[in-house]
Structure 1
Amino acid sequence: MIILILLLGAMLPHVTLTGYANVGIINGTKAKSRPYMVSVQKNGQHICGGFLVSKQFVMTAAHCFENGVKLTVVVGAHDLNRRSDHIAVKFYHIHPGYDSAKLLNDIMILQLNKITENRENVKSISIPQKDMNIKANSKCSVAGWGAQKTNGSPSKQLMEVNVTIVDNKKCKKKWDKQTTSRMVCTFGEGGFCQGDSGGPLVCDGTAVGVVSFNEKNNCDKPKVPNVYTRISKFLTWINAILGGVKQDSDY
């Protein structure tokens, strides 16, 4: 049975065939401008990443949800040491097919209790408009406030790193068939770690994946690819949620 463990207050599972523990950006640099990035917080402490897909909705990983816990989000703050306003979550839209044991359909949309203000440092990011495959060897990036080494402390500064898309068949072979067509994989000199769950995989300015899981206890030099939920496989569900709430025009 796969078990979810809270580690150092940071949410991100490292998955193996027997279990996973929660997992930052490895070998990254300080992020310059990612106005869509959101810190998902519990009791004022960062636990997951997320990203604005409209003025009132944040996309993140389903495994960041905890029963009975009220989450808040911080927008427009690359430096979490700076005083920022916390926005409460009004509704938690967890994908109905989410499987916490296998981390299938690991995607959630947070509906905020107010519309975010249009500012230079607060903007939404586009997502795919149709189901699409991402070519192997494409250069993309991932960002977050997570640990910068295995079992390290979360970062107060938003960090980013470039990654490379791995062919899905090769990824499935590496993970012993644990990945599916609803996932996308990356490899490279850097990647994500504890506290980066829910952040976006960005390719050509579009969010194509949601940080989901990686190798257990090995953020630094993983032997298997990092895995994300493939956003384009969930567009019908996403559009139904976003379209069900009247919103002002997006940024």
Structure 2
Amino acid sequence: MIVINNPNAGESLGFLKCWLRTGRCWRGLRPQATAPFPFSWTLGGVRPTELSRDTPACDSHGAWGGGLGPPAADCDRCPDTAHEAPSLTPSPSCPTPDRPPTLPAGSWGAQIIGGHEVTPHSRPYMASVKFQGQHHCGGFLLRARWVVSAAHCFSGRDPGTGLVVLGAHALRTKEATQQVFSISAVITHPDYQPTTHTSDICLLQLNSSATLGPAVGLLGLPRRGARPPRAGTRCKVAGWGSVSDFEELPPGLMEAEVRVLELDACNSSWKGQLSPAMLCTHSGDRRRRGFCSADSGGPLVCRNRAYGLVSFSGLWCGDPKTPDVYTQVSAFVTWIRDVIRHGQRGPQPRTTGGRQALSEPQ
């Protein structure tokens, strides 16, 4: 939410929500008006930028920068980069045939798209990673003191300021089932590349062991080197991100059923930018269904195993034209087991921090 000032009239429009992908602004949960004038904004640490909704639409689907592939033939210039979501690469640019625009997780626009609320505590392995009291990323509990998440969730962040919440369903509620831990160490895969999301995986060592029970449980790994599920296999992805493009917060943990997509077909959609250690899903019915940013690090569960970790998606979350991309967990089973076996005596964390666990979420 931001306060918008009309620079022409010199007056404030008051407290509105604005969806920067479309320039729609509204009061409440649904869009009711469009701002036809340039306005300034600051979001998620992104520098203030002038955004004008007078700029023509610039893709083949009638809306600029939708993560839907290359621009239309008559789109010969890049609009103001404020129209673009934060890119996977350091410098924003127009969508081009070389690569569709991407939305790295942990940035604005977080949602499970096309999903439903699960039965409370029916996914006891789910973990919420919080910074400054706000849900930032997901993860899953592998061992009583170890959580698996995505490496990009900790880019530029001090893990000593983070918390891990287990046993949650509604994060904004003080549930008796919740267990809260500080993070003793973040161990990032040594081959992680932030610009391409290669090897986008990390392990979080909690400051103490979780107490396992009905609301807090473990999720297993696939066999080492196991092939990903066949194309068309139904899997599930869950998270606490908002549930629409208007950033409505969910009442509790949300989940969507998706289907595995053959990697070559997915790589074609992503213009050859994927690596063999990635895994893709789509809705299977051309509808928008999948994950978005704050769902990052959460597991893709197939046959009751964590086969994927949420990594990145197109600008329009759940869009079948830019399939969702995950880290393929089976490619990292040996590394995961080595880290857990050696603990702090093994691979040294790239970032460390520590705090005492709190009695309740912050």
Q: Do they fold alike, i.e. is TM over 0.5?
A: yes
DSSP 3-state at the match of 2:295: coil
Deviation at 1:90, TM superposition (A): 0.4
Identity %: 37
Alpha-carbon distance between aligned partners in 1 of 2:253 and 2:136, rounded to the nearest angstrom: 13
From 265, 269, 273, the counterpart of 1:174: 269
Paired position in structure 1 for 2:111? 24
Which letter maps to 1:117? T
Paired position in structure 2 for 1:201? 300
Q: Which deviations, in whole Å up to 9, do the C-alpha atoms of 1:47-87 show, x marking residues without a partner?
A: 00110011110001001003335211000011112214420
Alpha-carbon distance between aligned partners in 1 of 2:166 and 2:86, rounded to the nearest angstrom: 24
Does residue 1:42 correspond to 2:137, yes or no? no
Does residue 1:192 correspond to 2:283, yes or no? no
Deviation at 1:20, TM superposition (A): 4.0
In structure 1, the gaps of 5 or more residues are 247-251
Alpha-carbon distance between aligned partners in 1 of 2:340 and 2:86, rounded to the nearest angstrom: 27
State the TM-score, normalizing by the size of structure 1: 0.88
Does residue 1:236 correspond to 2:325, yes or no? no
Deviation at 1:220, TM superposition (A): 5.0
DSSP 3-state at the match of 1:53: strand
CA contact (8 A) 2:293 2:312 kept: no
Paired position in structure 2 for 1:90? 184
Alpha-carbon distance between aligned partners in 2 of 1:44 and 1:89, rounded to the nearest angstrom: 14
Alpha-carbon distance between aligned partners in 2 of 1:171 and 1:19, rounded to the nearest angstrom: 15
Alpha-carbon distance between aligned partners in 2 of 1:126 and 1:162, rounded to the nearest angstrom: 19
Does residue 1:68 correspond to 2:158, yes or no? yes
Alpha-carbon distance between aligned partners in 2 of 1:35 and 1:192, rounded to the nearest angstrom: 19
Paired position in structure 1 for 2:238? 143
Alpha-carbon distance between aligned partners in 2 of 1:100 and 1:156, rounded to the nearest angstrom: 32
DSSP 3-state at the match of 2:334: helix
CA contact (8 A) 2:129 2:138 kept: yes
Deviation at 1:245, TM superposition (A): 3.8
Alpha-carbon distance between aligned partners in 2 of 1:60 and 1:120, rounded to the nearest angstrom: 22
Deviation at 1:101, TM superposition (A): 0.7
Alpha-carbon distance between aligned partners in 1 of 2:200 and 2:246, rounded to the nearest angstrom: 22
CA contact (8 A) 2:282 2:318 kept: no
| Cα distance change, pair 34–97 in 1 and its aligned pair in 2 (3 A) | same
DSSP 3-state at the match of 2:293: coil
DSSP 3-state at the match of 2:137: strand
CA contact (8 A) 2:221 2:306 kept: yes
Q: Which deviations, in whole Å up to 9, do the C-alpha atoms of 1:155-202 show, x marking residues without a partner?
A: 351000100000011011110011111000000041002310000000
Alpha-carbon distance between aligned partners in 2 of 1:125 and 1:175, rounded to the nearest angstrom: 30
From 172, 175, 187, the counterpart of 1:81: 172
Paired position in structure 1 for 2:78? none
CA contact (8 A) 2:101 2:314 kept: no
Deviation at 1:129, TM superposition (A): 2.1
Q: Which deviations, in whole Å up to 9, do the C-alpha atoms of 1:23-63 show, x marking residues without a partner?
A: 42111111121000001000111000110011110001001
Alpha-carbon distance between aligned partners in 1 of 2:308 and 2:134, rounded to the nearest angstrom: 24
CA contact (8 A) 1:146 1:195 kept: yes
CA contact (8 A) 1:149 1:220 kept: no
Q: Determine which structure has more spread, i.e. the larger CA radius of gyration.
A: 2
| Cα distance change, pair 36–238 in 1 and its aligned pair in 2 (3 A) | same
CA contact (8 A) 1:46 1:195 kept: yes
CA contact (8 A) 2:167 2:179 kept: no
In structure 2, the gaps of 5 or more residues are 1-42, 47-84, 89-94, 345-362
From 141, 147, 152, the counterpart of 1:52: 141
From 313, 321, 325, the counterpart of 1:223: 321
| Cα distance change, pair 244–158 in 1 and its aligned pair in 2 (3 A) | same
Counterparts of residues 150-169 of structure 1 (less than 5 Å):
150=245, 152-169=247-264
